[in-house]
Amino acid sequence: MLAGGFSGIAALAAPRPVRAQASYPDRPVRLIVPFTPGGAGDIVGRLLAAHLQKELGRSFVVENKPGAGSALGVEQIARAVPDGYAVGMANIASHAILPNLRSLPYDPVKDFAPIGLVALTPCLLVVNPDRLPVAGVAELVARAKAKPDELDFSSSGAGTSLHLGMEMFMQAAGIRMTHIPFNGSGPSLQALLGGQVGLSMEVAAVAWPQVQEGKLRALAVTTPQRVAFAPDLPTLEESFAGTAIAPWHGLVAPAGTPQPIIARLAAATSSFLRQPETLERFRQQTLEPKGAAPAEFAAFIQAELATFREVIRRGNVSVN
């Protein structure tokens, strides 16, 4: 009886946060997506939210907070109360590129608790075959070396992942080409299709259909490994080491979020990537599943920061 009495007193005296963590989540959770609806980041966020809701038994409500290249929504994640009821999607721009280009209202490492890497967005190195009739990466590099700065490529804007992917390629291959930036991926792709530029690095979801129709020719995929939707297409990494780049999306919480909550969300995120329906939806969207536990994801972010710091420095890249 004494033991029971003392245990009861201990239970009553237990800190409220411990009990809250044990029952997490006991109310709806906000999942902030720093993009407009419809894009790859939004698709990944909504699929993940639906799975977390099913597995953890509470609503995960997606809130789209676009702006400032995704920095606006990501800042809201960083400034949220660290209790597990506000989490969100980090990405290559918010956590690897923008911190190396300008001052931000958050620190990509100190202000977040990584939960898990979720997906890669493959990109393709593509050419307009009428404007630039090359059959492969080696032929492209030979042409560029023969005529420095004469070949031109489009991008979705200075300092974007697609622009920096081309910078990585040029630096690794020892070539120079002329960058023609556009305001968004749509105008960049149209310039390529119209022959205003000869080549570009484009997200596979929009470029691959054009390749299948013969309007563009794919020379390489930019992911570290070959992709399921085009297994015969070589990676750029196979020609030049250090050129793998793929816009990524991962789940993060505000720094200070209790570890038991991080662990529970990480386990559910890992489960999400094992579901057949997830793999099929990713395949339909030309997304590649990419899991990483919290510590691995934290190390990945650090490595990405270092990679783009060097690419930006060597390429003397700046944005207005």
Token reading at 94: 């918010």
Assess whether 204 and 179 both reside in one domain.
yes
Counting other chains too, the contacts that 23-26 makes at CB distance below 8 Å and 24 or more residues apart are 24/84, 24/260, 24/261, 24/264, 25/56, 25/57, 25/58, 25/84, 25/85, 26/58
Assess whether 154 and 204 both reside in one domain.
yes
Assess whether 216 and 264 both reside in one domain.
no
Q: How far apart are the first and last CA of the chain?
A: 72
For residue 74, give the nearest of 251, 220, 243 by alpha carbon.
251
Note whether residue 278 is domain-resident: yes
Residues 283 and 249: their CA atoms lie apart, in Å, by 16
For residue 40, give the nearest of 304, 296, 290 by alpha carbon.
290
Given 206, 230, 245, the domain boundary residue is 245
Assess whether 92 and 129 both reside in one domain.
no
Given 213, 245, 277, the domain boundary residue is 245
For residue 220, give the nearest of 212, 230, 228 by alpha carbon.
230
Which domain range does residue 194 map to?
Answer: 123-245
Question: Considering the entire predicted model, what is its pTM?
Answer: 0.89
Cα 186 to Cα 21, 144, 162: the distances in Å are 45, 25, 13
Output the domain CATH number for residue 264: 3.40.190.150
Note whether residue 77 is domain-resident: yes
Side chain identity at residue 190, one-letter code: Q
- Residue 156, number of CB atoms within 10 A of its CB: 22
Given 214, 245, 276, the domain boundary residue is 245
DSSP structure string for 31-87: EEESS-TTSHHHHHHHHHHHHHHHHHSS-EEEEE---GGGHHHHHHHHHS-SSSSEE
Q: 270 with 312: CB under 8 angstroms?
A: no
Note whether residue 319 is domain-resident: no
Assess whether 158 and 173 both reside in one domain.
yes
Phi/psi at 238 (nearest 5 deg)? -65, -25
User: Can you name the residues that pair with 252 across neighbouring β-strands?
Assistant: 88, 114
Predicted confidence pLDDT, tens digits, the chain (320 residues): 334 443 443 444 445 455 556 789 999 999 999 999 988 999 999 999 999 999 999 999 999 999 999 999 999 999 999 999 999 999 999 999 999 999 999 999 999 999 999 999 999 999 999 999 999 999 999 999 999 999 999 999 999 999 999 999 999 999 999 999 999 889 999 999 999 999 999 999 999 999 999 999 999 999 999 998 899 999 999 999 999 999 999 999 999 999 999 999 999 999 999 999 999 999 999 999 999 999 999 999 999 999 999 999 999 998 86
Assess whether 15 and 150 both reside in one domain.
no
Assess whether 171 and 194 both reside in one domain.
yes
Residues 214 and 94: their CA atoms lie apart, in Å, by 34
Rg (CA), the chain: 22
Token reading at 150: 């004469």
